[in-house]
Amino acid sequence: MKRIVSLSLGRSAESFERTLTRKGEQIRISHFGVDFNPDLLLRLAQEYDGACDVLAISGLPQMLKIRKQEHRHVLEQQLRVRVQESMLTWGQELRSVYATQVIDKALRSGQLPFPKRSLCFVSGLAQRPLAQVLEASCHEISFLDPYVHFKTPLALNGFKNLEKYTARMLPLLKKRSLKESKRLISLKDEKAFSFLRKPLAADYIVASPRLLGRIDPQTLQGKSLILDEMDEGSVEFLRASPVHNAWFVSMGGEEQLKNLPLAVIEGLIYLEKGGVEPVSEDDILRSMVEWGLKPKLQALYPERLGPVRKYAFIIHPLSRRDIFLHPLVKPLERLPEPLGRRLEKAMAAIPSVPYGRVSGSVSEHDGTRVEGLLYTLFATPREMLAADPETVYRQLVKTAELAAAEGAEIIGLGAFTKIVGDAGVTVAKRSPIPVTTGNSLSAAATLWAAREACEKLGLIPLLEGSPQKNAAQVMIIGATGSIGQVCARILAKIFKTVVLTANNGSRLLSLRDELLRDNPGTEILVTTKNERYAPSSHLIIIATSAAESGFFRIESVRPGAVVCDVGRPLAFTADEACKRPDVLLIESGEIELPGQVSLSCNIGLEDAVVYACLAETALLALDGRFESFTLSRKIEHEKVSEIYKIARKHGARLAAIRSPNGVVTDQEIALCRAHALRALADWEAP
């Protein structure tokens, strides 16, 4: 029986024992990892020298050819001297020619999505031929060599810098001990390793099975990897880690050749051709043809396409109390009141900081994955509206730059950040990545929630899609605002009577003219007094915040009406809502993103539910539409229906209907209906 002993510098957990049958002859393959212990590797090699036919060595730095000169690591030199009888194989040819070509082709042809065209090599030196080839198709390529070799907190950008580094450090590198016990690459301690963040945000991290042992598994959260080789131990490592996906070169061919280290395959080629001469390039080529080897890129999770795409979203505290939700400023919570007010002012000037992540969103349509980066400003609405818009723009653009560096491809403006100044237009002009206010989906979600509430309550016959219009009356409070306007445009197509209210009469008139032009059959009523038409409206949409909506009592609402509140803070408190059990009072729609979504921070909502404007940003990322989708105060209703379709396509759902008193269950709706029917019997429309 022939024997191949394969020694890898990597983890001992990748060891295996296998017997193959090739051409009627049995070949025993023993593979041992030595847990980064070069002395042990050397000792085992000496021990097995002569006791086996081939000694296959993996995980050593590759031989470097610089200016026609060959440089080998001292461990390789020692092995070459000490191993006398058995044949040494390294798999170098297979790795540097075939594996490299496969990866290069996949990136060029688009088999692997390559959105930012950026790569990060854990060690460019260990995989130099690969780095050299891939450099041409990258916009950005970075190497963590100085850190991996000498713990210098530095990443090299571009292949040229790697070359310079190599030329300078070569004498040291050749002798550097390969004894490595620590998982070095880790983002656990954000401050200490901040230089790692940008390189690790690349589309793909390129590594080899041995280099995997240098990475803290938690750091791989949501990352995509490319490996030039694979073994079963590394497959298990990756499966147990939170990595998004990994692509690795597999030589294909027969089942029994699967996941063998390349050095072992070279050893098999050596044995097959008689075991006399060292393996030549031609032997490899011939064996590839004869054995039907087809090097190809295989995915760890074939169902997950492409890398995780990232989006960013900016939020800010809605009240002074919320400021202290961020762990950084939590200790300041106990300051006395007068100081607190000053603090509020002072905090408004602080630039944004990372707040948390929204992870686990997966499209139900095509399995694309996205991850959200949340940033927070510390300005409360009061401070933000009082501030010079230019100051806020600067803060927002700065955040967009920060997010872009982290790999985000679009940024959404939350809460009051999209109200300041020209609602995102200036920010979008200056930002390195597209910007959206998320208002299209906010509007869509409002109508979505209103429709669902009306359907469930069953008191208003909705005849959507039919030429005959709905006989009911809808009132939009704050109709001249951005969400109010687009709601009015859409609802005017559905309802027979539309009431528009706002503070500014002249704007109301021009909106009325516009609606009448587009919908000649609709009755459009305008008023600046909210309560005037409230008793006759079946559906009321409050599209402005309580402070601006003017005087409006819940007592004036018709029984069985649906009141949908978009504004924040809400127009009615929980107590007020309790006064009218016969009115279905709901908050505008929040969205549940598809997939097992989890938030690492508190944004004031429960579980995995997110604000519609955040959901719009996430959905645009899922759909790969990195464009400034919604900007300025004017929302186009085409955009509203488009984002609604995108939401349905990727499987986003409307979160449970909520009122100021919490989630509204179907039972509560049935109860509300019963109350409404009773109250309607005595109800006299004024």
The contact set with another protein (CB under 8 A) reads: 11-19, 28, 30, 32-35, 37, 39-40, 43-44, 47-48, 51-52, 183, 217, 232-233, 236-241
**In the complex with another protein, which residue's Cβ is closer, 168 or 182?**
182
CA-closest candidate to residue 477, choices 572, 604, 382 = 572
State in angstroms the smallest separation of the CB of 245 from another protein.
16
**In the complex with another protein, which residue's Cβ is closer, 238 or 603?**
238
C-alpha span between 269 and 643 (Å, rounded): 57
3-state secondary structure of 150: helix
**In the complex with another protein, which residue's Cβ is closer, 30 or 522?**
30
**In the complex with another protein, which residue's Cβ is closer, 247 or 311?**
247
**In the complex with another protein, which residue's Cβ is closer, 212 or 323?**
212
**In the complex with another protein, which residue's Cβ is closer, 238 or 435?**
238
State in angstroms the smallest separation of the CB of 407 from another protein.
23
Using alpha carbons, list the distances in angstroms from residue 360 to 365, 505, 554. Answer: 15, 47, 40
State in angstroms the smallest separation of the CB of 6 from another protein.
11
Count of CB atoms situated within 10 Å of the CB of 281: 9
**In the complex with another protein, which residue's Cβ is closer, 159 or 237?**
237
**In the complex with another protein, which residue's Cβ is closer, 158 or 217?**
217
**In the complex with another protein, which residue's Cβ is closer, 222 or 233?**
233
C-alpha span between 459 and 562 (Å, rounded): 9
State in angstroms the smallest separation of the CB of 585 from another protein.
43
C-alpha span between 169 and 162 (Å, rounded): 10
Using alpha carbons, list the distances in angstroms from residue 660 to 138, 247, 571, 590. Answer: 51, 48, 10, 13
3-state secondary structure of 16: strand
State in angstroms the smallest separation of the CB of 10 from another protein.
11
State in angstroms the smallest separation of the CB of 237 from another protein.
4
C-alpha span between 373 and 645 (Å, rounded): 24
CA-closest candidate to residue 315, choices 329, 326, 301 = 326
State in angstroms the smallest separation of the CB of 39 from another protein.
7
Please provide residue 378's backbone torsions phi and psi, each rounded to the nearest 5 degrees: -110, 5
Task: Supply the angle between the helices 439-457 and 637-650 in degrees, to the nearest 10.
Answer: 70
For the chain, the first-to-last Cα distance in angstroms comes to 101
State in angstroms the smallest separation of the CB of 186 from another protein.
11
C-alpha span between 202 and 182 (Å, rounded): 23
**In the complex with another protein, which residue's Cβ is closer, 39 or 333?**
39
State in angstroms the smallest separation of the CB of 220 from another protein.
9
Q: Are 6 and 15 in contact (CB under 8 A)?
A: no
State in angstroms the smallest separation of the CB of 94 from another protein.
22
Write the DSSP string, 358-405.
EEEEE-TTT--EEEEEEEE----HHHHHHS-HHHHHHHHHHHHHHHHH
- Chain centre distance of CA 630: 20
**In the complex with another protein, which residue's Cβ is closer, 31 or 116?**
31
Tokens 């003219």, located at residue: 513
C-alpha span between 154 and 156 (Å, rounded): 7
State in angstroms the smallest separation of the CB of 435 from another protein.
38
Pairing verdict, β 2-8 and 584-587: unpaired
| Local structure of residue 351 (DSSP, 8 states) | P
| Local structure of residue 665 (DSSP, 8 states) | P
3-state secondary structure of 450: helix
Count of CB atoms situated within 10 Å of the CB of 334: 8
**In the complex with another protein, which residue's Cβ is closer, 35 or 93?**
35
Long-range contacts of 131-140 (CB under 8 A, 24+ apart): 131/159, 131/162, 131/206, 132/159, 133/100, 133/101, 133/103, 133/104, 134/100, 134/103, 134/104, 134/107, 134/206, 135/159, 137/104, 137/107, 137/108, 140/116, 140/202
**In the complex with another protein, which residue's Cβ is closer, 36 or 121?**
36
State in angstroms the smallest separation of the CB of 217 from another protein.
4
State in angstroms the smallest separation of the CB of 236 from another protein.
4
State in angstroms the smallest separation of the CB of 540 from another protein.
50
| Local structure of residue 420 (DSSP, 8 states) | S
Radius of gyration of the chain (CA): 32
**In the complex with another protein, which residue's Cβ is closer, 173 or 265?**
265
**In the complex with another protein, which residue's Cβ is closer, 241 or 352?**
241
CA-closest candidate to residue 480, choices 358, 635, 364, 615 = 635
State in angstroms the smallest separation of the CB of 232 from another protein.
6
